[in-house]
Every structure is written in C-alpha cells, then in structure tokens.
Amino acid sequence: MTRDYAKKPQKKRRKPKKTSAPGWVWLLAGVLLGVLMMTLIELAKMPAEEVKQAITKTSGQNTKTSHKPRFDFYTLLRETEVIVPDFPDSGRELRDAPSDNVFLLQAGSFKNAREADSLRIRLLLLNLTANIETFSPNSGETWHRVLVGPFDNNSQVASARGKLASNRIDSLLLKRKK
C-alpha cells in the first residue's frame, strides 16, 4: 500500500481526563447529608417548649424552675400493704385459736363481679362452700372477694387448701370472729 507523505496525518487531540472523586467520598457525603436531613426533620417535629429547654440546657441558663414529677405510688403502697402469713404460722394459729374464731380462705379478689362469680361456681364444682363478699376500700371502688368456708378446725382448712392448691388456686387464710 502506498502512502501519501504530502499530507501529514493530523494528531488526534486528546481530551483531558476528568478526574472524579473516589466512591468512598460520595458515600461519606451521602451519609452526612442524610444525617443533616434527619436532624432537621426531627427539629421541625419538636414542640417549641422542648426546643427552648434544649437551648437552656446547652447554654447553662435556667429561665424557668425545673418541674419535677410527683410520684404518689410510694404512699399508696404503704397504705395498701397486706402482710401475708406463711403456711406453717397459720396452722399454729388454728391450733391455738379459741372457739369464738372462724377461719376462711380467700380464693380471689376481683373488681368485676362476673369474674368473682365464675370463680365461685368453679369452687362449688370442687365441692367447696364459696361465697362472694362485696366491699369498698375507697369511695367509688368496689371489690368482690371470693371466700371459702367457714372452717372450725385445722383439718378442714388443710383439706380445702389442698383442693385449691391442686387446682392451681392460691388462697389466703383469714381469721374472723363468729
């Protein structure tokens, strides 16, 4: 093949390469942008009062006195404390009991009368004498106790407690005057 030397071949101009940032830079920029967007969204949702509190916390100035929550359950628990006797101690009370006392087993205490009645029926099916006693510890509150008994001697109480325990019903021994 022949070649024409009269026409010089033109050099191809190379375009300068554009250098782009590496991938990790783009990733880092995207994460930072996302964090910034989420922070702005959360600040927009926050009420103005909380924003003022946050500003006073960071600046160290306290414009309002801090409001501490008041918890009443400490006193409520002391007022409604029930001391539960252990089983061996309650048996000792039965042996030493004078004849003017009667013993009952409390099988449950419910706010709902239907729940109390269903437990009473369940106890009647176990051949136990069960009654419901309604009382009000506070004004406007009504509780329904399910009581088994009355019992005069230790063997009757032990038998009834054994039946209740075998049917997974917890009981509480109560001592009352006749």
Q: Are residues 51 and 101 in the same domain?
A: no
Residue 29: what pLDDT? 94
Residue 36: what pLDDT? 95
Q: Are residues 92 and 30 in the same domain?
A: no
CATH of the domain at 121: 3.30.70.1070
Q: What are phi and psi of 18, to 5 degrees?
A: -85, 125
Query: For the segment 133-149, what is each residue's pLDDT rounded down to a tens digit?
Result: 888 877 778 888 888 88
Task: Tell me, yes or no, whether 40 lies in a domain.
Answer: yes
3-state secondary structure of 143: strand
Task: Tell me, yes or no, whether 116 lies in a domain.
Answer: yes
Task: Tell me, yes or no, whether 92 lies in a domain.
Answer: yes
Residues of the domain holding 161: 83-177
Contact indicator for 104, 151 with CB cutoff of 8 Å? yes
| % of the chain residues with pLDDT over 70 | 75
Query: For the segment 155-172, what is each residue's pLDDT rounded down to a tens digit?
Result: 888 888 888 888 888 888
Q: Are residues 55 and 91 in the same domain?
A: no
Contact indicator for 122, 128 with CB cutoff of 8 Å? no
Task: Tell me, yes or no, whether 134 lies in a domain.
Answer: yes
Number of folded domains that form the chain: 2
Task: Tell me, yes or no, whether 64 lies in a domain.
Answer: no
Its pTM surpasses 0.85: no
Burial 94-119 (b: 16+ CB within 10 A, else e): beeeeeeeebbbbbbbbeeeeebeeb
CA dist., res. 36 & res. 146, Å (int): 61
